[in-house]
Amino acid sequence: MTITITAFERSPDRGNGLARDMRVRWALEEAGQPYDVRLVSFKTMKEPAHLALHPFGQIPTYEEGDLALFESGAIVLHIAERHGGLLPNDANARARAIMWMFAALNTVEPPVFERALANILERDEPWYEQRLRVLEKDIRKRLDGLSHHLGDADWLDGAFSAGDLLMVTVLRRLQSSDMLEEYPNISAYVARGEARSAYKRAFDAQLAVFTAASTG
Ligand code: GTB
């Protein structure tokens, strides 16, 4: 059955793979599943056809036969449950991998996302510097915990899993700051994720969309 996902027609991240279709593309590449991409504009995302797939008018979405999903975490979990390579077979290890998926999206991503948003929307506000300091303190609390847990391990819990995939995509959002450099083991962890061949294929695919939109 053909899998179709949606992604930005012209991503504001300029091909840096920071939009949330990247994690879905990466999961599909890890699972060895071919997929089609329907590119959508900001306008198209708010029109009835897309809203029928995604009530909040966003990307990414996922369609496979009569199944339609939104929410990148739910999509990655679906891919991981249906195909090998992203979740361990052992029940306890599997539960822990899913726990790390939630940790990435519920505990680490919120302050990271808030900081990115403040950089875009609040840079000219008088409170910007103060807000940034508060957000960066929150992020460091998460990075401290993550760094302590990771130690010198390659991945969060044994073999690479969907938990690592989501965590790496979240942490990449900090690469434009100096914060990751304060945590050499986390920087090395992100680099390990980015070195995976499935990651590279996903990254190149989304970059090709941006390049084509810029030159076409
Ligand atoms: N919780 C949802 C999920 O995980 O799927 C959130 C989906 C979401 O935020 N989608 C964004 C979107 O469609 C794109 S990824 N926004 C359009 C809208 O809401 O109208 C967020 C994003 C956007 C841009 C960058 N960037 O430029 O770096 C990074 C991430």
58 CB near ligand 1 (under 6 Å): yes
Residue 13 has pLDDT above 90, yes or no: yes
Tokens of 131: 């807000």
Q: What is the pLDDT of residue 156?
A: 98
**pLDDT above 90 for 216:** no
Does the C-beta of 72 come closer than 6 Å to ligand 1? yes
| Same-domain status, 188 and 209 | no
pLDDT of residue 63: 98
- Specify whether 144 is located in the same domain as 62: no
Which one of 13, 24, 39, 58 would you pick to mutate in the ligand 1 pocket, going by the greatest count of ligand atoms within 8 A of its CB?
58
Q: For residue 186, what is the domain's CATH number?
A: 1.20.1050.10
Whose Cα sits closest to atom 28 in ligand 1? 13
The share of the chain scoring above pLDDT 70, in percent, equals 100
Same domain for 189 and 95: yes
Residues 192 and 205 in one domain: no
Pocket test of ligand 1: the residue of 20, 78, 117, 172 to mutate, having most ligand atoms within 8 Å of its CB, is 20
Task: Give 201: exposed, middle or buried? Use CB within 10 Å, 0-12, 13-18, 19+.
Answer: middle
pLDDT band at 136 (very low <50, low <70, confident <90, very high): very high
9 lies in the same domain as 81: yes
Shared domain for 185 and 203, answered yes or no, is: no
Q: Are residues 128 and 189 in the same domain?
A: yes
**Average pLDDT of 34-57?**
98
Which CATH number do you get for residue 48?
3.40.30.10
Query: pLDDT-derived band of residue 1, with 50, 70 and 90 as boundaries?
Result: confident
Q: How do residues 100-111 score in pLDDT, each as one tens digit?
A: 999 999 999 999
Q: What is the pLDDT of residues 61-79, one digit of tens each?
A: 999 999 999 999 999 999 9
Q: What is the pLDDT of residue 215?
A: 85
Is the domain of 108 the same as that of 30? no
If asked whether residues 154 and 77 sit together in one domain, one would say no
Q: Based on the domain organization, do 188 and 210 belong to the same domain?
A: no
Could you tell me if 80 and 34 lie in one domain? yes
Domain count, the chain: 2
Which domain range does residue 168 map to?
91-196
Residue 4 confidence class, pLDDT cut points 50, 70, 90: very high
Cα gap 95→97, rounded to integer Å: 5
Based on the fold, state whether residues 138 and 69 are members of the same structural domain: no
Index of the ligand 1 atom closest to the CA of residue 58 = 13
pLDDT band at 44 (very low <50, low <70, confident <90, very high): very high
Percent of the chain with pLDDT over 90: 98
What is the rounded average pLDDT for all residues in the chain? Answer: 97
Q: Is the pLDDT of residue 125 over 80?
A: yes
Ligand 1 centroid from CA 204, angstroms: 19
169 lines ligand 1 (CB under 6 A): no
Q: Which residues pair with 137 in a beta bridge?
A: none
- Helical residues (DSSP H) of 67-127, grouped into ranges: 72-82, 91-102, 109-121
The confidence band for 42, taking pLDDT boundaries of 50, 70 and 90, is very high
User: H helices within the chain, ranges in order?
Assistant: 21-30, 42-45, 48-51, 72-82, 91-102, 109-121, 128-150, 162-171, 184-194, 197-215
What does the pLDDT read at residue 34? Answer: 98
